[in-house]
Amino acid sequence: MTRVVEHFRATHDPGVVVLPTGSGKSLVIAELARLARGRVLVLAHVRELVEQNHAKYEAYGLEADIFSAGLGRKQAARQVVFGSVQSVVRNLEAFDDSATAFSLLVIDECHRVSLDENSSYRRVIDALKRCNPSLKILGLTATPYRLGQGFVYHRHHHGMVRGDEDCFFRDCVFEQPLRLMVKQGYLAEPRRVDAAVARYDFSRLAPGAGGRYQEAELDQVVAGNRATPAIVAEVVTAAAERRGVMLFAATVAHAEEVLGLLPSGEAALITGATPSEERQAHIAAFKAQRLKYLVNVSVLTTGFDAPHVDLIAILRPTESVGLYQQMIGRGLRLAEGKQDCLILDYAGNPWDLYAPEVGSPRPASDTEPVQVPCPACEHANLFWGRRDGELVIEHFGRRCQGLVEDDDGRRRQCDFRYRFKECKECGTENDIAARRCHGCQAMLVDADDKLREALKLRDAMVLRVTGMQLEATHNGRGLPRLKVTYHDEDGETLSEWFALESAAQRGAFAAVFLRRHLRAPGSDWWPGSPTEVVAERRRLKAPDFVIGRKVGRYWQVRDKLFEYEGRYRTAAAAEAVHGLP
């Protein structure tokens, strides 16, 4: 509570509190509402959470209103109101009164707040701010990341940048790690066990444009799959000494098949189409332990509280670590006689329950979170990357996530960029996707424009690079040199040479070559000779394009384009097509 109060005394910026599933968010919300001096609106996206949060508040002996059509109540007169975002956004006129304006908005499961200004949450926020421009906004969540966006907040109280500058929530003011909660005995230990039988193979599937798997493609994997009977049989065997089992199926058809294989009279199925009364009856029977198995399809990942659950069976791929944590979180609450929660994953999900998602989408299935120190501020960044043993051989970070203080004591993000686009006017390093220089505001030269202009010149050469060759050689005077040769798919080549004999030469090589060619830019690697560079060629990457200009009888490399995304085809995308379009 202290961190929240201190944050809002210093700023009106929206803040986030991160608490693991089962750690008592409802109690925290109740205490915040109790302590608040002005009016408080607590929003959630499902009626179960609205009801649960309201009940915890009234357990203090206090009274509050409920504004939720699903719960059959639309009251908003008391100091504290618990509402569903769907009901509130449809009735904004009931909250549009400056005389009774809210001073605090609390959003449960705040990772659902979109960047889209026309989304339900944002429309409610805008309406409340019209009545009170000083509205304080606090979000609570166990999973502070959003599919396709990454972290939902910009700065973390430990002194790092997590999400983009345009995140709606500015600061994570407090975070309680899941591992610590388990270690201290406040949550049940999630015990993941490798399945003994065959798993489903979802490896060929890729999420759609919205970042989610398509039901038709999932059905192609699970429908009538010969592994299903064995999988369900193993779950039943593992559940012999367990009290409550939740199974997460891939599709409705898959869930129906799974239900048919479970012990008769001991299982129920809930989907998005299950009628409300039937749904509530199944949930009540499961919580009362009259049912042992509860099968569902993407509907019981939040707002569901059954502490006796001690086995989670995952029979579907998960799009993000957030969804994975939400599913497993159903089994982490403590209950009398409960020692742990058994996790059986039959879909080969790669997520580490304890590891947070890196702030950008995972670039490839073989990448993992890697720690990359900043050479400027020494902040230990966490990026997606690859290792070769203990060595970080590649990472995909763009800019240091560290927060540094300026001379006035204000915190700002460290300026060091691992990948950048340099402004030709002032030399400022900009984000690789920037269109305008943040230093001098000049328009940055587009990569396609560079290629187009070079192709027009008679004394210019554009190589679509298929490979980069490194050679430790000697010049005409017998001095050691590093020769770098770029090859294109038509047999053309361009070369450049580097000397590494003196400290100045090695510094120049690091600045003009290593900084752009390192697969893990920012690495503390200072090769002292051409031979050392060649020996460690695995640490270097080739550009997508090289532009050369003819000077006298020779060609000189003038520009190189890395991580190119534009209308011209790269060699990596080539099959049998030749020539620039």
How many residues are present in the chain?
581
> Can you say how many angstroms the Cα of residue 158 is from the centroid of all Cα atoms in its chain?
18
Contact 355, 321 (CB under 8 A): yes
CA distances from residue 203 to 217, 218, 257, 267, 317 in whole angstroms, order as listed:
12, 11, 22, 29, 9
Asked whether residue 341 falls in the same domain as residue 381, the answer is: no
In a domain, residue 106? The reply is yes
CA distances from residue 224 to 45, 205, 554, 581 in whole angstroms, order as listed:
35, 18, 66, 46
* CA atoms in the 13 A half-sphere facing the CB of 280: 6
Which residues is 193 bridged to in the sheet? 344
Q: Which two tokens stand for residue 94?
A: 């009931």
What pLDDT is recorded for position 496?
A: 96
Asked whether residue 104 falls in the same domain as residue 168, the answer is: yes
Positions of the chain with pLDDT lower than 50, given as ranges: 575-579
Asked whether residue 254 falls in the same domain as residue 212, the answer is: yes
What pLDDT is recorded for position 359?
A: 62
In a domain, residue 228? The reply is yes
In a domain, residue 426? The reply is yes
What pLDDT is recorded for position 510?
A: 93
What pLDDT is recorded for position 267?
A: 96
Residue 395 belongs to what domain range? 372-430
Asked whether residue 391 falls in the same domain as residue 504, the answer is: no
What DSSP designation does 542 have? -
What DSSP designation does 441 have? -
| Single residue among 142, 176, 210 that ends a domain in this structure | 176
Tell me the per-residue pLDDT of 513-535, one tens digit each, with 9 for 90 and over: 999 999 999 998 999 999 999 99
Run of H or E residues at 283: helix 276-287
pTM higher than 0.85: no
Asked whether residue 482 falls in the same domain as residue 557, the answer is: yes
Tell me the per-residue pLDDT of 169-213, one tens digit each, with 9 for 90 and over: 999 999 888 888 888 898 999 998 877 777 888 877 777 655 577
Sign of CA dihedral 122, 123, 129, 135: negative
Tell me the per-residue pLDDT of 394-437, one tens digit each, with 9 for 90 and over: 999 999 988 887 777 777 889 899 999 889 889 899 988 888 99
Asked whether residue 10 falls in the same domain as residue 93, the answer is: yes
In a domain, residue 202? The reply is yes
* CA atoms in the 13 A half-sphere facing the CB of 512: 15
Asked whether residue 224 falls in the same domain as residue 320, the answer is: yes
Asked whether residue 50 falls in the same domain as residue 172, the answer is: yes
What pLDDT is recorded for position 579?
A: 45
Q: Which of 517, 526, 503 is nearest to 418 (CA)?
A: 517
Q: Which of 253, 244, 236 is nearest to 297 (CA)?
A: 253
**Per residue, what are the HEC states of 103-132?**
EEEEEECHHHCCCCCCCHHHHHHHHHHHHC
Asked whether residue 477 falls in the same domain as residue 518, the answer is: yes
What pLDDT is recorded for position 9?
A: 86
What pLDDT is recorded for position 63?
A: 93
In a domain, residue 278? The reply is yes
In a domain, residue 441? The reply is no
CA distances from residue 373 to 357, 379, 380, 399, 522 in whole angstroms, order as listed:
18, 6, 4, 11, 8
Asked whether residue 56 falls in the same domain as residue 112, the answer is: yes
Asked whether residue 319 falls in the same domain as residue 410, the answer is: no
CATH code of the domain covering residue 75: 3.40.50.300
| Single residue among 143, 176, 209 that ends a domain in this structure | 176
In a domain, residue 363? The reply is no
Run of H or E residues at 455: helix 447-456
Distance CA 219, CA 252 (A): 9
Bridging pattern class, strands 244-248 and 309-314:
parallel
Asked whether residue 125 falls in the same domain as residue 190, the answer is: no
In a domain, residue 436? The reply is no
Query: Domain count of the chain?
Result: 4
